[in-house]
Amino acid sequence: MIKHIFCDLDGTLYHHGISDDDIKAIEAIEKKGVVFNIATGRAFKQASKMIKGKLDLNGYYICQNGAFVYDKNHNEILKEVIDDNLVKKVVNRFKSDDAYIFFMHDGNIVISGGEDILDEFDRECINDPDFFKKDSFDNLVGNIGILSRNEDELGRMDTYYKNEFEGILDVYLSGKYVLNISPSHISKGNAIKHVCSILNVNLDEIATIGDSPNDISMLKGFKYSFSMDSSREDVKKSSAYTVKSVKEAIEVIEKTNGVEN
């Protein structure tokens, strides 16, 4: 039986809002004892605002692509930050006239520019290009990212950082205009495994839903994994199922639970 669902926000559950159909499906399956959890690249502050007033969730929030995890009472139960020395190496190698670097730092988004690229939930950020010149970040950087509307430039940066930090950092797109850089051991998939170990839940008793390359770690190898039909091919190939919506994924989960009960 599937006991927990771990779902991405942007492009999966959230499309300029959360649909009424998805809300009803989530509320219905939670009444049947299945817990709905969030797994997102966003910081907790932004993620909780996107959910507030729409859903009253009983699950966990996996944030910043697995760097931070919060329980249903919003207590921080996992914190995986990037060592300052590694952060500085990434910053020192950043050279672009058409992209901006940003950090998730101590729960805040700090950017070097490109505020217009961010959506309404991320615009409560700190725009401070000088911040990235600091000698110390107090080991509080949970995620590093690059913003650009130029997809070719993002592709160049993707290739460059992958070559520079192979085996040390994972580099992947977490949105159309966002490149994410994080240590190889930090991922949504690993954070989900951490939560499951706390709950004593088998990985075959969970379902995962996502749409982007930063979701592959929580799709690939999981028995009940769902990608969106709008996803890139590499994401679709990583999942067991492809669906049009969270509601459709929940319908499959309900049928699975009906068969297994």
pLDDT at residue 195 in the model: 98
Q: Tell me what pLDDT residue 108 has.
A: 86
- Tell me the C-alpha to C-alpha distance, in Å, between residue 150 and each of 100, 115, 143, 147, 154: 11, 15, 21, 9, 6
- Tell me if the domain spanning 4-79+186-260 has CATH number 3.40.50.1000: yes
Q: Which residue has the higher pLDDT, 260 or 173?
A: 173
- Residues forming CATH 3.30.1240.10 domain(s) in the chain: 84-183
Q: What is the mean pLDDT of residues 171-194?
A: 90
- Cα-Cα-Cα-Cα dihedral sign, residues 72, 77, 83, 86: negative
In the chain, CATH 3.40.50.1000 sits at 4-79+186-260
User: By three-state DSSP, how is residue 248 classified?
Assistant: helix
CB atoms within 10 A of CB 102: 26
Domain 84-183 falls under CATH 3.40.50.1000 = no
Average of pLDDT values for 204-220?
97
Residue among 55, 58, 59, 48 at smallest CA distance from 18 = 55
Give residue-wise pLDDT tens across range 107-147.
Answer: 888 999 988 887 655 667 889 999 999 999 999 998 899 99
Q: Round to the nearest angstrom and report the end-to-end CA distance of the chain.
A: 7
pTM of the model: 0.88
Mean pLDDT value across residues 14-21: 95
Largest alpha-carbon pair distance within the chain? 58
Best CA proximity match to 130, nearest among 111, 106, 105: 111
